[in-house]
Amino acid sequence: MARLNPRNQAPSARLAALALLHGVLDRRLPLDEAFEDAQAAAGLAPRDRGFARALAATVLRRLGQIDAVVAACLQKPLTPKARAVENILRLGVAQLLFLGTPAHAAVAETVSLTQGRLGAYTSLTNAVLRRVAREGAVLIDGQDEVRLNTPPWLAQSWQAAYGPEAARDIARAHLQEAALDLTVKGDAGRWATTLDAERLPTGSLRYRGDTAVGDLPGYADGAWWVQDAAAALPARLLGDVRGQHMIDLCEIGRAHV
């Protein structure tokens, strides 16, 4: 983290998001692991931690579109030395075009991340993001979001397995933020109110907020756990299986892939 923050800037949501992108794109860490590993996230209020994660996740989900917008707003491609500001530009574009952050805040706060050793790129970052604020909406309106945000190797695999139309539908679904399903130990109704979550007919809760899981009430106490609603169905359907032998077919399937 010191490499990203040589001037020891005060912790902020955007600085934490920058550290997250570094962890995922450069260090190849899963997002959740990178989030826990990001020193910039330490000490942030729950709301800021949630924004940092949402911001980084938006960049990763819309990376193809964002990079296309950045390229269109540059007079010439970034040099290898200027690649250090690439993730900063990505954060700015995500705020301006996908998160609805007011332009003045998105530009000013993102440009501030160039303080220190990246000061030589402050003017470049400011100019690019101001152009995105003016022209970005038109640029993304003409994009093929499905194609740009899906790696070719993955698109080809889906097409071979499901056909072109279904493959595009799958890719389009991946652009949506996945809901967080929870299985609770006790009163599901009470926890639905506490977490402001939807109570599904199956008994699971569906949380759509942006607060980090570890910051939600009940997490530390083990009052509930994260589990896809579909994955919770077998236990509800089979009832009391104490003393019986069970086979986890999912684990067997993965073992033979």
All residues at 6 or more sequence positions from 222 whose CB lies less than 8 Å from its CB, including other chains? 185
pLDDT in tens, 93-122: 999 999 999 999 999 999 999 988 899 999
Q: What is the pLDDT of residue 36?
A: 80
Choice between 185 and 248, residue whose per-residue pLDDT is larger: 185
Total length of the chain: 257
List the Cα angle 25/139/16 in 5-degree steps.
Answer: 30
Q: Which residues pair with 225 in a beta bridge?
A: 183
Q: What is the 3-state secondary structure (H, E, C) of 202-220?
A: CCCEEECCCCCHHHCCCCC
Q: What is the pTM of this model?
A: 0.79
List the Cα angle 242/244/249 in 5-degree steps.
Answer: 110
pLDDT in tens, 60-75: 999 999 999 999 999 9
Average pLDDT over residues 187-192: 93
Q: What is the pLDDT of residue 164?
A: 96
All residues at 6 or more sequence positions from 172 whose CB lies less than 8 Å from its CB, including other chains? 145, 146
Which two three-digit tokens encode residue 71? Answer: 């390229």
CB atoms within 10 A of CB 208: 11
pLDDT in tens, 10-58: 679 999 999 999 999 999 999 888 888 776 666 888 888 889 999 999 9
Q: What is the pLDDT of residue 3?
A: 42
Q: What is the mean pLDDT of the chain?
A: 88
